[in-house]
Amino acid sequence: MLDAPTDAIANTQRAAREQAKTYTVGSYLAERLSQIGLKHHFVVAGDYNLVLLDQLLSNKDLEQVYCSNELNCGYSAEGYARAHGAAAAVVTFSVGALSAFNAIGGAYAENLPVILISGAPNSNDRGSEHLLHHTLGTHDNSYQLEMAKKITCAAVSITSATVAPALIDHAIRTALREKKPAYIEIACNISSVPCAAPGPISGVVAEEPSDPETLNAAVEAAVAFLRKKQKPVMLIGSKLRAAGAEKEAVALAEALGCSVAVMAAAKSFFPEDHPQYAGIYWGEISTPGAREIVDWSDAVVCIGALFNDYSTVGWTAMPTGAGVVTADMNRVHFEGHDFSRIRLRDFLAALARKVEKRDATMVQYGRIRSPRAPEKPAQPDAKLMRAEIVRQIRPLVTSNTTVIAETGDSWFNGLQLELPRGARFEIEMMWGSIGWSAPATFGYAVGAPGRRIIALIGDGSFQLTAQEVAQMIRRNLRPIIFLINNHGYTIEVEIHDGPYNNVKNWDYAGLIQAFNAEDGHGRGLRATTGGELAEAIRVALANKEGPTLIECVIHRDDCSADLISFGRQVSIANGRPPRPE
């Protein structure tokens, strides 16, 4: 550490250096990305963004991470945001950005601040008679910005260096506040043009405070409401993390003393080893006791909950009625009250300080809880089955593990894993785009290099975005991928079957060899029995230099009981006839 006078000199020198430094639009953007804590940005090059990429490279605190295509680039950034709080992806105009839009829609649905940056046509060509490549071949090139406005919380087009700082700051600030993606398009001739130096980052990252009077009123009303109730229960939803309120939820739980159930999309957002943890509430496919305790309660405090057709199992499981308290990211409402402009974190913390103990649901849950039945290992040479895969994965999950579960039966397999304190679970349940998990695993691994990542991915999903395993190999990242090969879209089979649910088989282990080419250290293994799986896991744990993919071959119809029930209810919900006209 420097002593005080030397410190002052160093500060003056730094300020002088900053003044002398000329910023360009691109280096300004890089500085802002670095200041909000990003260490990486995900990139696919294209002629509209090449000069911008040079400018971003000039920031030594920011590393460029290359992706195989723009869809994967978007998903990688989305995975990085899950690990790191925010992320940036840089793509080229239209041919790149339109592919990335799927992932950006996902970031919107999943409440993740991903900044999508697109190179764009030269400012001189705007409104001119020139037709440009990578466009629709019309003279109006505003369509990408217009599309971006629908799937981001802020979308800006930069064609002038003078206004660039304000527009960049606006986009980043809005994304961080709203926990939603933002879009910045920069004309290719503008990114190297000098612009103003960035002001203090506090102006960009400052959070909107709760309105103190509203907060107070909401807490008073909630305390009075809960005083009248005998059996409150807490239900944790996926927006709890986006609200930055995980600790405060634990504090409220401990003050109330009640049972705490989580929704599937919020697995790991409340510690599973906490004595008040009562499992996953998901209608008829809840973990044992969770549904019963929520149904038994007389007040369900829903915190950051997100109810859709999937999370309610085809609208069969949704807490309703006068006992429901909805505590959302910026709003609380219940029985005759509606309060906005209060932050969830502040509300939970203040409520925890004032609320009276109500532990009836905890006492009752203690009576009805049933420990998971012990699982019997399969014979080592018996045909591999889904249940045996889950059984063998369980001991791999430690406090340093993140489990990433892809859409499909992998959701249900992942949800069956118990998480020790510190383990994390990532699922894309609102957007549910197959193909998300391979690049999200890549991005997550870049963002959390010290963590052991276990990805559960179905064969159908993997085929959308498999290339990103090559990027894991390129960076010597070490996730373990359990590729569940049931030769089809089994989740769709359970909802509605037909020939369209069959998947062309691949040689998945061979694919990793192909990705390795001359210098990679990925391992690809195939398990058809429990014995082969155990051996493959041993090899995976010993592979210190790259990812390991274990193809787990099971029967097309070997799926979890939960998926069968889920599929039936979703099929009923999808098949409701239209209302009479």
Strand partners, 309: none
Radius of gyration of the chain (CA): 25
Distance in Å from the first CA to the final CA of the chain = 75
Spatial separation of the C-alpha atoms in residues 454 and 173, rounded to whole Å: 33
Closer residue to Mg ion, CB minimum distance, 304 or 567 = 567
138-177 residues near ligand TPU, rule: CB under 6 A: none
By DSSP bridging, strand 23-24 and strand 194-195 are antiparallel
Tokens coding 332: 């609380």
Tokens coding 123: 């400012």
Closer residue to ligand TPU, CB minimum distance, 371 or 498 = 498
Residue 437 makes contact with ligand TPU by CB under 6 A: no
Nearest approach, Cβ of 92 to ligand TPU (angstroms)? 22
Burial 502-531 (b: 16+ CB within 10 A, else e): ebeeeebbebbeebbeeebebbbbbbebbe
Selection from Mg ion, ligand TPU, none that 520 binds (CB < 5 to 8 A by kind) is none
Nearest to 492 by CA among 502, 482, 484, 483: 502
Single out the segment in contact with ligand TPU by CB under 6 A; choices: 12-20, 84-92, 266-274, 482-490. Answer: 482-490
Closer residue to ligand TPU, CB minimum distance, 293 or 464 = 464
Residues sharing a CB contact under 8 Å with residue 14, sequence separation 6 or more, in sequence order: none
Nearest approach, Cβ of 493 to Mg ion (angstroms)? 9
State whether residue 158 is helix, strand or coil: strand
Which residue lies nearest Mg ion, judged by its C-beta?
Answer: 458
By DSSP bridging, strand 331-334 and strand 337-340 are antiparallel
Selection from Mg ion, ligand TPU, none that 409 binds (CB < 5 to 8 A by kind) is ligand TPU
Spatial separation of the C-alpha atoms in residues 137 and 53, rounded to whole Å: 26
Residue 78 makes contact with ligand TPU by CB under 6 A: no
Residue 181 makes contact with ligand TPU by CB under 6 A: no
Residue 484 makes contact with ligand TPU by CB under 6 A: yes
Closer residue to ligand TPU, CB minimum distance, 139 or 391 = 391
Nearest approach, Cβ of 111 to ligand TPU (angstroms)? 19
Closer residue to ligand TPU, CB minimum distance, 77 or 294 = 77
Spatial separation of the C-alpha atoms in residues 291 and 263, rounded to whole Å: 11
Nearest approach, Cβ of 57 to Mg ion (angstroms)? 40
Residue with tokens 């080893």: 273
Nearest approach, Cβ of 175 to ligand TPU (angstroms)? 24
Closer residue to ligand TPU, CB minimum distance, 347 or 489 = 489
Strand partners, 119: 186
Nearest to 93 by CA among 64, 130, 122: 122
Selection from ligand TPU, Mg ion, none that 157 binds (CB < 5 to 8 A by kind) is none
CA distances from 110 to 250, 265, 431, 492, 496 (A): 22, 10, 7, 22, 26
| Residues of the chain by 3-state class (helix, strand, coil), percent to 5 | 40, 20, 40
Residues sharing a CB contact under 8 Å with residue 228, sequence separation 6 or more, in sequence order: none
Single out the segment in contact with ligand TPU by CB under 6 A; choices: 106-114, 185-193, 453-461, 538-546. Answer: 453-461
Residue 491 makes contact with ligand TPU by CB under 6 A: yes
Residue 92 makes contact with ligand TPU by CB under 6 A: no
Selection from Mg ion, ligand TPU, none that 491 binds (CB < 5 to 8 A by kind) is ligand TPU
CA distances from 562 to 263, 285, 338, 395, 558 (A): 15, 6, 36, 22, 12
Residue 439 makes contact with ligand TPU by CB under 6 A: no
The residue type found at 279 is: G
Query: Could you list the residues that contact Mg ion (CB under 5 A)?
Result: 458-460, 486, 490
Closer residue to Mg ion, CB minimum distance, 293 or 549 = 549
Residue 488 makes contact with ligand TPU by CB under 6 A: yes
Taking CB under 6 A as the criterion, the residue among 185, 248, 388, 459 binding ligand TPU is 459
Closer residue to ligand TPU, CB minimum distance, 287 or 433 = 433
Taking CB under 6 A as the criterion, the residue among 198, 283, 432, 447 binding ligand TPU is 432
Selection from ligand TPU, Mg ion, none that 407 binds (CB < 5 to 8 A by kind) is ligand TPU
Taking CB under 6 A as the criterion, the residue among 185, 409, 426, 428 binding ligand TPU is 409
Spatial separation of the C-alpha atoms in residues 102 and 315, rounded to whole Å: 26
The residue type found at 227 is: R
Residue 461 makes contact with ligand TPU by CB under 6 A: yes
Residue 468 makes contact with ligand TPU by CB under 6 A: no
Residues sharing a CB contact under 8 Å with residue 400, sequence separation 6 or more, in sequence order: 422, 423, 450, 451, 452
Spatial separation of the C-alpha atoms in residues 90 and 74, rounded to whole Å: 9
Residues sharing a CB contact under 8 Å with residue 74, sequence separation 6 or more, in sequence order: 42, 89, 91, 99, 100, 101, 102, 103, 104, 106, 107, 114, 116, 439
Residue 388 makes contact with ligand TPU by CB under 6 A: no
Residue 456 makes contact with ligand TPU by CB under 6 A: no
Residue with tokens 């506090």: 202
Closer residue to ligand TPU, CB minimum distance, 233 or 438 = 438
Residue 123 makes contact with ligand TPU by CB under 6 A: no
Residue 408 makes contact with ligand TPU by CB under 6 A: yes
Closer residue to Mg ion, CB minimum distance, 325 or 429 = 429
Closer residue to Mg ion, CB minimum distance, 276 or 490 = 490
Residue 106 makes contact with ligand TPU by CB under 6 A: no
Residue 455 makes contact with ligand TPU by CB under 6 A: no
Closer residue to Mg ion, CB minimum distance, 334 or 411 = 411
Give contact residues for ligand TPU (rule: CB under 6 A): 407-410, 432-435, 458-461, 484, 486, 488-492
